[in-house]
């Protein structure tokens, strides 16, 4: 199956779920950090899959009911003494190489990227796989501290005391109600991460289109990016993520999936850029395979300006 055909087929799966009233990310479990799905990753490298590949594996895991987040190639399974079961169906993924070419005294990137395709299997399709490693269980205050450190480290200006959460591109500020107005402190942090994802789209940063009015397709596209990015951030920081609050966007997301099935993967790629820009690696929850990195001391990070005053802006 061609990659475009795969995108079309998986978009159809998402459309069917959204038409049932589920979120754009119906394959993600909301709420408790102990219940949310982590990111699909390769146990050989210990690194999560990225962009469109990540979405491919998220959806495949949902459709087939896999709880294991490990995905690897046939040869990688054999290399560790495991064996893919006969008849197991793989998931096609791709990566793109931008070959360099000489021009004058410098090296520029070729305008013709070369895609390479490979197939992976879930660990539940493979006999002889070792038990999946578990992450270090952090106490709630430790998880929250990691999230707080990322928010401070971003340098974003956060204004507390607003009626609703929003990011205002004109003033380049995030507005949030006071934490006690949320159902939990984790819910407050998850909302802050969502607005921080929008903040990265400012022209001085990742320069995404933030001009769309509520109800427009451009607005829905940006919301899709922010929702995907904030989910990745929340899972990686271990605070959990609730995807049940986006009923207002479902009709627009269905329209995007119908007309632009490839945008599901573009949104994921943009979400990865958000996470890279925010340097999630510095703050993330303990890695799955490599030794946990020493946590950064929150007091060593810059603190954004925080005010308590009403702020008018665009609500996402």
Last residue of a domain, one of 127, 160, 177: 127
Looking at the fold, whether 123 and 183 belong to one and the same domain comes out as no
Give alpha helix (H) positions in the chain.
Answer: 3-19, 51-64, 74-79, 140-154, 185-199, 217-237, 250-259, 263-277
Give the dihedral sign, CA 206/38/158/165. Answer: positive
The model's pLDDT over 138-183, given as tens digits with 9 standing for 90+, comes to 788 888 999 999 999 999 999 999 999 999 999 999 999 999 999 8
Radius of gyration of the chain (CA): 20
Residue 134 domain-assigned (yes or no): no
Higher-pLDDT residue of 150 and 27 is 150
Among 22-31, 170-179, 198-207, 302-311, the range scoring the smallest mean pLDDT is 302-311
Looking at the fold, whether 123 and 202 belong to one and the same domain comes out as no
Q: How many residues does the chain have?
A: 316
Give alpha helix (H) positions in 25-139.
Answer: 51-64, 74-79
**Among residues 234, 230, 296, which one has the least CA distance to residue 267?**
230
Instruction: Please tell me the predicted confidence (pLDDT) of residue 258.
Output: 86
pTM attached to this predicted model = 0.75
The model's pLDDT over 85-105, given as tens digits with 9 standing for 90+, comes to 999 999 888 877 766 554 444
Instruction: Give the residue-averaged pLDDT of 229-236.
Output: 85
Q: Do 285 and 236 touch, CB atoms closer than 8 A?
A: yes
Residue 86 domain-assigned (yes or no): yes
Last residue of a domain, one of 127, 159, 176: 127
Q: Supply the range of the domain harboring residue 104.
A: 3-127
Residue 133 domain-assigned (yes or no): no
Residue 314 domain-assigned (yes or no): no
Looking at the fold, whether 159 and 303 belong to one and the same domain comes out as yes
Instruction: Please tell me the predicted confidence (pLDDT) of residue 34.
Output: 45
Instruction: Please tell me the predicted confidence (pLDDT) of residue 248.
Output: 63
Looking at the fold, whether 146 and 100 belong to one and the same domain comes out as no
């Amino acid at each position: 199956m061609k990659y475009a055909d795969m995108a079309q087929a998986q978009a159809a799966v998402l459309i069917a779920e959204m038409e049932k009233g589920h979120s754009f990310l119906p394959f993600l479990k909301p709420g408790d950090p102990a219940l949310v799905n982590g990111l699909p990753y390769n146990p050989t490298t210990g690194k999560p899959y990225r962009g469109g590949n990540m979405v491919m594996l998220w959806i495949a895991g949902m459709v087939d009911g896999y709880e294991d987040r490990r995905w690897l190639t046939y040869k990688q399974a054999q290399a560790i003494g495991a064996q893919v079961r006969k008849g197991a169906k793989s998931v096609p993924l791709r990566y793109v190489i931008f070959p360099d070419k000489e021009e004058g005294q410098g090296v520029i990137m070729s305008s013709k990227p070369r895609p390479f395709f490979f197939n992976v299997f879930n660990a539940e399709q493979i006999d002889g796989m070792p038990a999946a490693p578990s992450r270090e269980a952090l106490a709630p205050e430790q998880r929250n501290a990691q999230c707080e450190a990322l928010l401070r480290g971003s340098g974003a200006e956060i204004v507390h005391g607003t009626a609703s959460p929003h990011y205002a591109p004109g003033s380049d500020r995030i507005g949030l109600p006071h934490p006690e107005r949320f159902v939990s402190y984790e819910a407050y942090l998850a909302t802050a991460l969502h607005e921080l994802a929008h903040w990265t789209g400012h022209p001085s940063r990742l320069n995404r289109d933030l001009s769309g009015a509520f109800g427009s397709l451009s607005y829905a596209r940006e919301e899709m990016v922010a929702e995907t990015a904030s989910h990745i951030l929340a899972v990686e920081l271990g605070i959990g993520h609730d995807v049940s609050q986006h009923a207002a966007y479902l009709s627009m997301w269905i329209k995007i999936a119908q007309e632009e099935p490839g945008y599901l993967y573009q949104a994921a790629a943009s979400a990865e850029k958000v996470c890279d820009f925010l340097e999630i690696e510095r703050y993330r929850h303990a890695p799955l395979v490599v030794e946990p990195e020493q946590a950064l001391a929150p007091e060593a990070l810059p603190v954004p300006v925080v005010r308590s005053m009403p702020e008018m802006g665009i609500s996402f």
